[in-house]
């Protein structure tokens, strides 16, 4: 189906007829192929890339990449980043490119977490892995000369939700709270009926029909425990959450639930910086050279610098 009925900005037109194939039978192959791209992530004259292994539940282990600007020094800040992909796809090339922007731009380490994916590992595996990675970072902060008062969480799409869930988990378990959370066109609810969810059932990159497929793969049994770990909008309270940056795309079915989450946070007294980009689609920052994307990346980096400065207690 052609998606040219939407006035998408020319910078993103090349993606106007693209939606990832979401089929259970082929996902394992796609996951393996996409994940193999991680091997291309190596150190440069500006960034050191370190492979780390993190113990999670039941003796299992996950991998992560730690990006560190050369000469960053001691007691440095860190962003723990959770990639998007509908809870079923690994980090893609544009995730690596964005992390390579955030790290030197905000003068911080970035831990890019390779959490386990549905459908083989459905909810609540991803939130548990992501929280375990956050706790691992906090407990190993001294080893990497990281200041635990200046650790932020962030993510895009599904990863945006996981960032918020990690903050909720940290609050619920009296763990060191993130100093900020960066949420890019995030999933914030489950089964949320919004105008954008009803309107955008054929938009590129992600639409409401895609969301239903992702949800079916991710949530495979009735949720036991805290509903907000699968749907942050359902949290009874958002008090105590860290300062938050939320960015949404105009032609994205997730647009309105991102805005709703921003409003809920503000009502709870949380500092929120909210931006709705224009002419954009879900995953629009795949076009890194676009002036629109450049402006967004600058805003994200400024937010990170601000929360890192506010968390500096030295």
Active site residues: 157, 252, 282
Is the omega angle on the peptide bond into residue 124 within 30 degrees of 0, that is, cis? yes
Closest-CA residue to 250 (of 241, 263, 259)? 259
**Cβ neighbourhood burial of 178 (10 Å; 0-12, 13-18, 19+):** buried
Question: How far, CA to CA in Å, does 301 sit from each of 98, 100, 106, 124?
Answer: 11, 12, 5, 30
Identify the pLDDT of residue 224: 75
Contact between 153 and 79 under an 8 Å Cβ cutoff? The reply is yes
Dihedral-angle region of residue 58 (phi above 0 means left; psi in -120 to 50 means alpha; beta otherwise) = left
> Mind listing the pLDDT tens digit for each residue in 185-235?
999 999 889 999 999 999 999 999 999 999 999 999 888 778 999 999 999
Mean pLDDT, residues 12-27 taken together: 95
The CA distance from 131 to 162, in Å, is 9
User: Which tokens in the block code for residue 270?
Assistant: 């949380």
**Structural domains of the chain ordered from first start:** 10-311 (3.40.50.1820)
> Mind listing the pLDDT tens digit for each residue in 255-303?
999 999 999 999 999 999 999 999 999 999 999 999 999 999 999 999 9
């Amino acid at each position: 189906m052609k998606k040219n009925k939407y006035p998408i900005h020319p910078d993103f037109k090349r993606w106007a007829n693209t939606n990832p194939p979401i089929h259970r039978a082929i996902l394992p192959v796609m996951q393996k192929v996409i994940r193999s791209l991680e091997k291309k992530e190596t150190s440069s004259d500006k960034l050191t890339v370190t492979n780390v292994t993190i113990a999670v539940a039941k003796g299992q282990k996950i991998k992560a990449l730690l990006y560190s600007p050369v000469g960053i020094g001691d007691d440095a800040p860190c962003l723990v980043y959770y990639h998007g992909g509908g809870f079923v796809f690994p980090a893609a090339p544009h995730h690596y490119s964005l992390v390579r922007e955030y790290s030197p731009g905000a003068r911080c380490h970035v831990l890019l977490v390779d959490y386990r994916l549905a459908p083989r590992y459905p909810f609540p595996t991803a939130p548990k892995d992501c929280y375990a990675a956050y706790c691992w970072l906090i407990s190993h902060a001294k080893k990497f000369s990281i200041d635990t008062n200046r650790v932020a969480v962030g993510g895009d799409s599904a990863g945006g939700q996981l960032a918020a869930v990690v903050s909720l988990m940290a609050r619920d378990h009296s763990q060191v709270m993130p100093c900020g959370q960066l949420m890019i066109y995030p999933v914030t609810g489950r089964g949320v009926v919004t105008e954008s969810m009803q309107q955008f059932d054929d938009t590129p990159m992600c639409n409401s029909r895609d969301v239903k497929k992702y949800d079916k793969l991710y949530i495979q049994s009735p949720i036991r425990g805290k509903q907000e770990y699968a749907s942050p909008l359902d949290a009874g309270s958002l008090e105590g959450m860290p300062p938050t940056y939320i960015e949404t795309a105009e032609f994205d079915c997730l647009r309105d639930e991102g805005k709703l989450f921003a409003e809920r946070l503000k009502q709870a007294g949380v500092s929120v910086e909210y931006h709705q980009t224009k002419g954009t689609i879900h995953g629009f920052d795949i076009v890194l050279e676009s002036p629109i994307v450049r402006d967004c990346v600058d805003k994200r980096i400024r937010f990170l610098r601000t929360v890192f400065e506010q968390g500096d207690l030295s």
